[in-house]
Amino acid sequence: MHHQNDLRSAWKRLVSRMNAMHNKRVIRSALRRLRSRTNEDAFLIIEEKKTNKFVQFAKDNENNLIFDLPDQTLTLAEQARGRMLLRSYNIVYEEWEVLDKPDGKVVGTQKGFNKNLGKDLDAITEITYAVFTKIYLFVEPIKLSIIEN
């Protein structure tokens, strides 16, 4: 009986690792597509299907990826975990002005985690996956949805 539990546990760990690998491939592929799109307003939202918890990206003129995890979607516990985890990637919690259009009028403020992460798709994939597993605390199998323009 003990042997059977060990096998079941090992199988669950293997399936979880396979799900994680799949989700990282999905994330990396979506990030790569974002970098290759030519529209100026290109964006990417990666969300967990059941809860709609998400992280989003845009890109700059040099195809660097800009990470954005807005505050209004986070619980206080998620915000605290975000501050701890993302600090290790030099992504800090901050507040910035929101404009009605580029170079337009200030219409409000936004709080959250926002940073230009550059072009390293492997590193950005790991950060993105960590948002789902270490900030939102999802456990595999995680069902991700990709929204892009």
Where do the domains of the chain lie? 2-148
Sheet holding 144-148, edge to edge: 93-99, 106-118, 65-70, 54-59, 43-48, 144-148
Per residue in 51-60, pLDDT tens?
A: 999 999 999 9
Give Cβ neighbours of residue 110 (< 8 Å, ≥ 6 apart): 70, 71, 95, 96, 97, 98
pTM (whole model) above 0.85: yes
Q: What is the pLDDT of residue 5?
A: 81
Confidence of residue 128 (pLDDT cuts 50, 70, 90): very high
The model's pLDDT over 91-111, given as tens digits with 9 standing for 90+, comes to 999 988 888 888 889 999 889
**Chain centroid, CA 139 distance in Å:** 15
